[in-house]
Amino acid sequence: MDITLDKKNSNEASIKIKLIEADYQSKVDEKIKDYSKKANVNGFRPGKVPTGIIKKMYGKSILVEEINHLVGHAIQDYIRDNELQILGEPLPNQQQVDNVDWDNQTDFEFEYNIGLVDEFSVDLTKKLKVKEYAIKIDDKVIDESIDNVKIQFGTMENPEVSEADDLLYGTLTSEDGEIVHDTTLDPAPFGKTDAKKFVGKKKDDVIKVDLNKLFKDEAQRAAHVGKTADEIADMDGAFTFTVKNVNRRVPAEINQDLFDKTFGPGVVNSEDEFRSKVSETIGQNYKRETDSWLIKTIQDKIIEKTSIPLPDSFLKDWLKVSGEGKVTDADIEKEYEIYADQLRWNLIVGKIAKDNEIKPEHEDVLAATRAMIGAQFGGSGLGQLADQMDSFVDNYLQGENGQNYMKMAEQVQQQKVLDFIKEKIEIKSEEVDLEKFKKIVQN
């Protein structure tokens, strides 16, 4: 066997393999003999089928199978032994494969295209500056959150006449009578003029509506008439809505029952404690959002400052092949830059980890898994589950044939690298209100 590397540029190459008959024939003969001992062929006793018959019946498929096996292992061994850092998987020259004459050839040549990681360096210094944000929690935000909680745990009444913010249950009927569907309408998101149409209404009242105007989102229109988006693509929005029932949300009272429903029995015992706990919960939610934004900012900045040329043409071919017919050229063009940046980030993380000997230790993986499982329980009942936590952790990490462990180890390494990066660069903090933070994210 002769195997060579043909490097086209710094990040694209092909591996060429030449086989002569001596490289594979003994294995093929061995398999043919093995088949003859196991095959059931009419006219021959089991285990007594002549090898000539087996060769005639199965020789070609055995040859193809053995050569594919031999070439596949040779490629992987060559990549490993030569410490090639490849992207994706080797792609065979399909035209060459299609032109193989399996019936007559004894010598074979195969070519596999590969994408390589070009040399690059990551510069982590205080010159690299990013900004993190802390969202201010004022009384207005706390009051709005408490109002939402009161609605969430409130009750529903059915008054005779509707008022602003009431929900109306009834029947939507298209002007041509082809569509008749019962649904609940919430006028709150409608414009002021349209929302007023639903105030002062009672059972059996009929309201003329234009669904195309009320619901800009096609999926919402479809859901309210019990159809799919495709079925209403050309639908006339002219409908009537016949009121069947008025539903009014009645907010819950601020009392111990609300405290217990929101945070668990006995966690909060007064309105002051309730406001404090709501503020703490909002802070935790905001912290998750600002942390996510900081991570994205760090990633974007380092990707921007780190030059990593990629074998774009090869990667697009590989994405299409690995998509097994489910991914189009248009899909790849649309999503490729997102994929390429994620790939660059993974390469950066791997290099930083290697250069600085950052590794996901077993205890780190266990701790991260405990934290994940604890978060899934939302903190409730963890005291009673403490004795079983080790069992939960072990069961999870052994799941999916060990893939769960690898996934958690990768998450731990990503976090360790991020922590390392944060120590090396300059991070400036700024406190902003929620609206300003939303604008920052949108821009």
Residue 325, number of CB atoms within 10 A of its CB: 7
CB 102 within 8 A of CB 63: yes
C-alpha 315/C-alpha 347 separation (Å) is 15
Q: Quote the tokens at residue 260.
A: 């217990």
Contact present, 353 and 417 (Cβ < 8 Å): yes
Q: What backbone phi and psi angles, to 5 degrees, belong to 367?
A: -65, -45
- 400 is written with which tokens? 């999916």
* Rounded to 5°, angle at Cα 429 from 424 and 433: 150
For the segment(s) 155-250, the CATH number from 1.20.1740, 1.10.3470, 2.60.40, 3.10.50 is 3.10.50
CATH of 129-136+274-442, picked from 3.40.50, 1.10.3120, 2.60.120, 3.30.450, is 1.10.3120
Look at residues 318, 297, 310 and name the one whose alpha carbon lies nearest to residue 337. Answer: 310
Per-residue pLDDT of the chain (443 residues; tens, 9 = 90+): 999 999 999 899 999 999 999 999 999 999 988 888 877 777 777 777 788 888 888 889 999 999 999 999 999 999 999 999 999 999 999 999 999 999 999 999 999 999 999 889 999 999 999 999 999 999 999 999 999 999 999 999 999 999 999 999 999 999 999 999 999 999 999 989 999 999 999 999 999 999 999 998 999 999 999 999 889 988 999 999 999 999 999 999 999 999 999 999 999 999 999 999 999 999 999 999 999 999 999 999 999 999 999 999 999 999 999 988 888 999 999 999 999 999 999 999 999 999 999 999 999 999 999 988 887 776 554 555 667 888 889 999 998 888 999 999 999 999 999 999 999 999 999 999 999 999 999 98
Sequence letter at residue 155: T
Q: Output the six-digit token pair for 2.
A: 């002769």
Tens-place pLDDT, residues 19-33: 999 999 999 999 988
- Structure pTM? 0.75
346/87 Cα distance (integer angstroms): 11
Q: What is the pLDDT of residues 263-280, one digit of tens each?
A: 999 999 999 999 999 999
Beta bridge partners of 112: 15, 92
Domain ranges in the chain are 2-116, 129-136+274-442, 155-250
Is the CB of residue 305 less than 8 Å from the CB of residue 121? no
Q: How high is the pLDDT of residue 147?
A: 95
The residue whose two tokens read 């909060």 is: 268
d(CA 116, CA 94): 20
What is the spatial distance between Cα 428 and Cα 443, in angstroms, rounded to a whole number?
19
The CATH class that applies to domain 2-116 reads: alpha beta
The confidence score (pLDDT) of residue 378 equals 60
